[in-house]
């Protein structure tokens, strides 16, 4: 099978990892961890504005921002871009050493600082060519509520007895008797 983007271009998934043979999304538990993390993150990103547009227009003119169509980076440190600003990102990534920050927690911030500092790709700098398929042929990803329900479905909390975990110095765990005479109801000053 091929690699596909879902929702936004950029993050690519192995079709067989996320889709069933019938072409529907697999249950989250059946999707490998990295792909699952990206899919869950995409749910919150697909309606977000382009980061570069946002840096230009800000909250006051948010309606001027184009919707993001592309995502680069790692979940939580991603850069969202519209088609117009993708060449700026690619120039930063390829020519301004952005590639050196892949996987680094400052990846997105470094691009934002570069762009906010007035830097741009030279006129005519080429972006990427994409092969778009009919988006109506792809199944809709589950919504955020469905994902949350799937994550907690069947989850049973585990009670932990803290008395079983004592110091690692070879001493025995605390017993009920060890707390005799200790006033656990004492109010301690907060400041």
**Is the full-model pTM beyond 0.85?**
no
Q: Are residues 77 and 56 both part of a single domain? A: yes
Q: Are residues 8 and 62 both part of a single domain? A: no
Q: Is residue 88 part of a domain?
A: yes
State the residue range of the domain holding 56. 47-124
Task: Give the count of domains, the chain.
Answer: 2
Q: Is residue 165 part of a domain?
A: no
Residue 43, token pair as written in the block: 């749910």
Q: Which helix (H) or strand (E) holds 56?
A: helix 51-57
| Tens-place pLDDT, residues 27-70 | 888 999 999 999 999 988 989 999 999 999 988 898 889 999 99
Q: CA 123 to CA 7: how far, in whole Å?
A: 29
Q: Are residues 2 and 36 both part of a single domain? A: yes
Q: Are residues 12 and 80 both part of a single domain? A: no
Q: Is residue 69 part of a domain?
A: yes
Question: Of 63, 95, 124, which residue constitutes the final position of a domain?
Answer: 124
Q: CA 107 to CA 111: how far, in whole Å?
A: 7
Is residue 4 scored above 60 in pLDDT? yes
Q: CA 54 to CA 188: how far, in whole Å?
A: 48
Q: Which helix (H) or strand (E) holds 74?
A: strand 70-74
């Amino acid at each position: 099978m091929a690699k596909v983007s879902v929702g936004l271009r950029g993050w690519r998934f192995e079709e067989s990892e996320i889709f069933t043979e019938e072409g529907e999304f697999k249950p989250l538990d059946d999707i490998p961890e990295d792909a699952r993390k990206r899919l869950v993150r995409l749910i919150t990103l697909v309606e977000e504005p382009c980061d570069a547009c946002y840096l230009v227009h800000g909250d006051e003119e948010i309606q001027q921002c184009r919707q993001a169509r592309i995502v680069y980076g790692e979940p939580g440190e991603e850069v969202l871009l519209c088609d117009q600003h993708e060449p700026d990102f690619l120039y930063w990534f390829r020519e301004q050493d952005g590639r050196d920050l892949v996987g680094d927690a400052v990846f997105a911030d470094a691009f934002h600082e570069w762009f906010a500092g007035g830097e741009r790709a030279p006129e005519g700098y080429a972006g990427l060519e994409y092969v778009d398929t009919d988006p109506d042929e792809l199944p809709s990803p589950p919504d955020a509520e469905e994902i949350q329900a799937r994550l907690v479905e069947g989850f049973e909390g585990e009670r932990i007895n803290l008395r079983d975990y004592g110091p690692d110095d070879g001493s025995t765990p605390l017993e009920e008797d060890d707390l005799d005479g200790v006033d656990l109801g004492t109010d301690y000053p907060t400041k």
